[in-house]
Amino acid sequence: MISAYWITALACLLLVFLLYKEWKRPLQRRLAARWLATALLVTSLLLLAWPAEQQLTGSTQNVLLTPGFSEDSVANWMRQHGDNVKMFTTDASLLYKNAPLPLLLDFTTFSRMHPHDTLQVFGNGLPASTWKKLAPVPIAFHPPADKRAITDIFWQQQLELGATLLVQGNYDNNGNTAVTIQLDAFGAVKDSVTIAAGRQQPFQLRTVPLHSGNAVYTLRAISGTDTLCAEPLPVAVAAPAPLRLLIISAAPDFENTYLKNHLAGKGFLITMITTVSSNKTDRQYLNTALQQNDPPITADYLSGFDVLLSDPETLKKMNTAALNNVRAAVQNKGLGLLIRMDSTADASSFYTRHFPLQHLPTAAGILALHSTTADSTRIAIKTANRTAIRYRPGVKPLLQDEPGNCYAAAALYGNGFVVATTLQQTYSLALSGNQPAYQQLWATLLRAAAKPVYTEEQWRTEPFFTFQHAPASVVLEKNELAVPLARADSVTLYLQQDEQLPFIWKAVYWPVEAGWQMLPAAQQGGNAWYVYPKNSWQQLINYQHRLASTQYAAVYANVPATTKEARSGWWQHRQFWLLLLFMACCTFLWIEQKLS
Amino acid sequence: MEANKNREIIEATRRRLIRTRFLVDAMLSVGIGFLASVLNQQITGGNRLWGLLVAFIAFLILTALHKPWRVSREGIARLLDQQYPSLQESSALLLQSPAELQLLEQLQYHKVTTALSAIQSPLQLNRRLRGPACWLVIMLLAAVVLGLLLPHKVEVNAGSPAKLPPALVKQEAVLPGISGVSISIRPPAYTRHPAREQHNFSLLAETGAVASWELSTGAGVGKVEFIFNDRRHVALQSNGKEHTQWKLEKVIDSTGFYQVSIDGRLSELYTLQTIPDAPPVIGIHLPKQYTIIDYGQPEQVHLRASITDDYGIKEAFIAATIASGSGEAVKFKEQRIPLNGFAPGAQHFEAQQLLALQKMGMKPGDELYFYLQATDYHQQQTRSDIQIVQLPDPAQLMSMDGLANSLTLKPEYFRSQRQIIIETEQLLKDRDTISSSAFESKSNNLGIDQQLLRLRYGKFLGDELSGETEGADGLGDIADFSNADKVRDAFTDHHDNAEDATYLDPQTKKQLRVIINQMWNAELHLRTFTPKEALPFAYKALRLLKDLQQQSRVYVAKTNFKTTPLDPAKRLSGDLSKIKAAHTQKTIVPDTDPQQYVREAIAWLNSMAVKHTPIPDNGRLLQAQMQLQQKAIAQPALYLPAVQAMKRVVSNLQLDQPVAAADILLLQKGLQSMLQMPATLPSAARSGTRVGLSKQYFDHLQQTQP
């Protein structure tokens, strides 16, 4: 602003001086032309030197203050651009210089009234949904300086006892000091990670929850001794339902026997059919009812199991009808088929064709395996047999050693999974005292194979974070056509069917209280639902508002599009024209002086 | 006048030189003293004042060596002559009176006087201080660097009594009625710790220490008692009529906690921690657990062991038992052998001892069993594992007993090895009476015999070896793993195939291989005419053969037993139709997680912290409380705060009052630290509702891509 005044003043002085010199010249010819040329010369020089982005002073500007704005930055802006501004806010609790501001609530009307007036937005901005309503209004976004925040976060809220809780996220540390992110459970730090100053990087925290039931952990971001945020992290842990397992083998072996005894001891429902001699089988029913008449392997019989554990030799010797039933059960009903591979496996059968074997050089000693799904799982098994499964597209490796050889893999077959492993004598793990590794190994294999549990109806909420005193979408997936009703406390919710997907029903519910509560339809499912306290996860929300605002500001820039079009043509090349005018004036004055 | 002035200059120079020399010695001594002081403190942990003494001694030594006072005027004159050519080697003249000088000398005298007066600060004594000053700086710097680098030695008092960790000492709330407490702890005498006194309730004492509490209450109270571990009430005795002084004495023999009750008012819980006395630890490094002293080896055993105890070993010895004879005539002789150099009271003892077997009365064929036993002052005994030393009897090896009774088939060439030994011994006896060529040819012949014997075994074993890969070891073939047929083949007998009948089991073959190695060595020595060296190998081969023979001996009692006559028609027909298939049904009660209640309680407490909820009626909080108390008795320092918090939480809940968040956090922390990792169990994934949409999609895919 000051520079503009100075330039104008200097130009005026120059003009007066030049005009005076022209007037006082001894030869008084063409005075008017020379004065005109001098005036044009100084004007063109002035316009060339004029600050390019000079705002038109005097017009009123709209300023929107959103949560997180700093009074200093607003005052600083007003010093540069004049204080003829009209201030609004979206949050009634925000004050500017200790005075309340007018609320801007009707965004649609505002956008109709000021389609081309640039809106100066201070603070963290507004959510994307609000920007949609404001759509053509151009904005200039002034985000706050401290942008340290957890920008993304995910964890599994419902876990099974013994499963690992994995918290994954992203942290933007634009500050000058390192920030430690830690996971607290019941007053003890479970895991932590440090983000260096000036870095934006993903983080991962893990722990095995020790509690059973619903609890709230805390995720903290700490810089030095300051706690930047402490956010609730709800975790519900339930004991897993025992699987129903059918083991069929062509000969008795200790591997199956040990596995059977181990799982039966944990309450699993196991039926084991072992061929002991020609046409003689030994049938064991553990935790299940005795069936006297040796039921044949029919589709109906197989539907009572989650996993069938067998080996290629047994399946090869099985009669065709039974094998077809197994195949149909896997393909249509989702029965898991877990195959303990051996060298008799041929590539043609449906259960082995995804798993070509690869014989590695025999090496005695410890085989260190890790799970590809949970990288905390480490299994060191003593074996000389190094037969791996060669990778094929569509096959998911489950257990790999350090060089990447796969020793267990899963392939999708229809609705179910076929899982193959080349590991033999895994019981040696348990017998050598490493019971947890044995449990993890078989948990990995059986979990990959097990028939998924389908519930009659499933409830969920949208979005991931549902806050107290904020609307939450309650979504029901259900196949029946009857109109479902849900009860939340004493309120009955009437659900609306989705137009496109008829099995989806929705309702909007405003939770009154924060904390764990039952999802509206508690009667059937008993799904626990966590409602976050009003001000939790504020940094994440602020970050998302900033992101939405920055994206909106990038699309609807400072200068309205219509004005740009009007000023096309000479305006865009005005510098060139001004220079031309300046040169022309100079040339005229010079030639005139030479000629006279 | 001139003469006086000259003498003064020289005298002043002499005094200054003496002073300088003393100063140099003093500087060096200070440096040495400082260095010694720092080293003394860092290395031995001693007092720094020792440095002063060292500096003084160094100064005395240096001055005695340099003798700085012994500087004469003549010496100064010589020095001046050396240093300043302008004096023309004539400064000695200045010491004389000018009157006594001759003319020439007088002329020179005046010349030198002028030259001397021109010299400013003669001899430049200040320069002499530069070198020592540098040394002083270097030594001071070295002392500082060493002081920083060397680990600081802390004075350790071996018999220091136990001190409570600071975390336990602070923040002890005392009942308002108590005006003072004094607890004197008398550790057991054997710990050699002095008695001590403390004024806070939390105790840390050696096991078996006697603690006596003296409580004074401001006003007279009716009854004061201690409640140990929330169960046992012990009343304190009052000293006077005012009932203000109370006393109790108790032996602290286990960890736990206690609280004070004054007329029914309860204090907070205080810890009672003990430092247990560990029994002695014995480690035997030599000999091996089972040692055989073969023929030819020295009949002695080298014993090397270490014994450690935390307060001192009272007694340690070797308990040895010699078993001689065989069968029913076995006799045992027990001995107690003291350890050489053992003195009671030491905390650590390294035993080094040679056990001479013959001196102990061992004969060939006997066995020695021995172990180390140590006792500490708390009468705790530790015994090491039993070590066995065997002294085989060559005569026994020669016996033919048992050969005829062998049940499983063994190679039948044992006699020959025995024969070779007999003949070798005979040869050694005859050595002096026969010619050397005859001795050599006899030895060589025996070598040939040994070779033949070895070859016969080798052939016998070689036949077997070729078939070994067919045995159980062949299952490791990578290209054909887990083949059930092969497994069956390896572990079953093919009775019907005469060619395939096996004679020797793998274990026997392994042992035979060792025997052949011994025979090789015996043959080597016989062939090189050193039959004496061959004997140990021959004996070892024989002993191993004997072992092989002994292994196969099985005792079968004679019984009256009639077998059912076999029906040849049924035999080997393979008819299994009358054998029923086995059916087993078992319901196994799954081993429940004993900590399940604690897991549930901790989650419930978490929801309590947010919203006050009534106490659950399934007793999980009670169960958690019981488990927590058990833990607190064992580890009061860790779990006592949680027990106290639990008491407050439960009482508040029972009175339906709000619970403090700090209490809940403390309790959760305690409960969490006692929880173990839950077992990982496989489970099915939850896959939402089975909606028709994905099924339709899948069916459609099947139709388009069958």
ipTM: 0.73
Q: CA B681 → CA A11, A257, A259, A433, B678, distances in Å? A: 86, 18, 12, 17, 9
Q: Which pairs count as long-range contacts for A365-369, CB under 8 Å and 24+ apart, including other chains?
A: A367/A401, A367/A407, A368/A401, A368/A402, A369/A399, A369/A400, A369/A401, A369/A407, A369/A441
Q: CA A469 → CA A476, A485, A514, B460, distances in Å? A: 21, 22, 9, 92
Q: Does A273 touch chain B (CB under 8 A)?
A: no
**Dihedral sign computed on CA atoms, order B280, B285, B290, B296:** negative
Report which of residues A525 and A240 the model is more confident about: A240
Is the Cβ pair B478, A282 closer than 8 Å?
no
Find the DSSP H helices in B67-129.
73-83, 103-118, 125-128
Res A445 pLDDT > 90: yes
CA distance A22 to A40: 14
> How high is the pLDDT of residue B414?
46
Contact residues, chain A, for B576 at CB < 8 Å: 277-280
Is the Cβ pair A210, B607 closer than 8 Å?
no
Res B622 pLDDT > 60: yes
CA angle A209, A215, A218 (to 5 degrees): 80
In chain A, the residue whose alpha carbon lies closest to the alpha carbon of B488 is A251
Of A188, A415, A436, the CB nearest to B669: A188
Is the Cβ pair B606, A211 closer than 8 Å?
yes
Of A281, A313, A443, the CB nearest to B484: A313
A226-238 vs A213-223, strand pairing mode = antiparallel
> How high is the pLDDT of residue B412?
47
What is the interface size between A and B, counted as CB pairs within 8 Å? 224
Report which of residues B166 and B124 the model is more confident about: B124
> How high is the pLDDT of residue A100?
84
Is the Cβ pair A452, B684 closer than 8 Å?
yes
Res B370 pLDDT > 70: yes
Res B467 pLDDT > 50: no
* CA of B669 vs chain A CAs: smallest distance (Å): 6
Burial of B233 (0-12, 13-18, 19+ CB in 10 A): exposed
Q: What would the mean pLDDT of A129-137 be, rounded to a whole number?
A: 84
Q: What is the pTM of this model?
A: 0.60
| Confidence at A272, pLDDT banded by 50, 70, 90 | very high
Best of B587, B649, B689 to mutate (most A CBs within 10 Å, chain A) = B689
In chain A, the residue whose alpha carbon lies closest to the alpha carbon of B673 is A188
B310 DSSP 8-state letter = S
Contact residues, chain B, for A289 at CB < 8 Å: 585
Q: What would the mean pLDDT of A378-390 be, rounded to a whole number?
A: 83
Percent of chain B with pLDDT over 90: 4
| Token pair belonging to A571 | 């305006």
Is the Cβ pair A186, B602 closer than 8 Å?
yes
CA distance A18 to B119: 84
Cβ–Cβ < 8 Å for A333, A340: no
The answer, yes or no, to whether the previous bond of A397 is cis (omega within 30 of 0) is no
Is the Cβ pair B482, A414 closer than 8 Å?
no
| Token pair belonging to B310 | 């935390």
Res A54 pLDDT > 70: no
> How high is the pLDDT of residue A582?
92
| Token pair belonging to B11 | 């005298």
Is the Cβ pair B685, A453 closer than 8 Å?
yes
Partner B, chain A 390-429, Cβ-Cβ below 8 Å: 414-415, 424
Half-sphere exposure of B371 (CA within 13 A, CB side): 9
Q: Write the CB contacts of B339 (distance below 8 Å, at least 6 apart in sequence).
A: B316, B317, B318, B349, B351, B353, B372
Is the Cβ pair A313, B481 closer than 8 Å?
no
Average pLDDT, chain A: 85
Q: Does A489 touch chain B (CB under 8 A)?
A: no
Is the Cβ pair A451, B671 closer than 8 Å?
no
B43 DSSP 8-state letter = I
Cβ–Cβ < 8 Å for A450, B682: yes
Res A339 pLDDT > 90: yes
Is the Cβ pair A515, B607 closer than 8 Å?
yes
Is the Cβ pair A414, B698 closer than 8 Å?
yes
| Token pair belonging to B427 | 């040869």
Poorest-pLDDT segment among A47-56, A131-140, B422-431, B620-629:
A47-56
| Token pair belonging to A552 | 């909106």
* CA of B695 vs chain A CAs: smallest distance (Å): 9
In chain A, the residue whose alpha carbon lies closest to the alpha carbon of B611 is A515
Closest CA to B691 of A477, A344, A171: A477
> How high is the pLDDT of residue A565?
45
Q: Taking the CA atoms of chain B, what radius of gyration do you get in angstroms?
A: 48
Of A186, A478, A515, the CB nearest to B610: A515
CA distance A172 to A404: 33
Poorest-pLDDT segment among A525-529, B67-71, B342-346, B494-498:
B494-498
Is the Cβ pair B684, A243 closer than 8 Å?
yes
A165-173 vs A188-195, strand pairing mode = unpaired
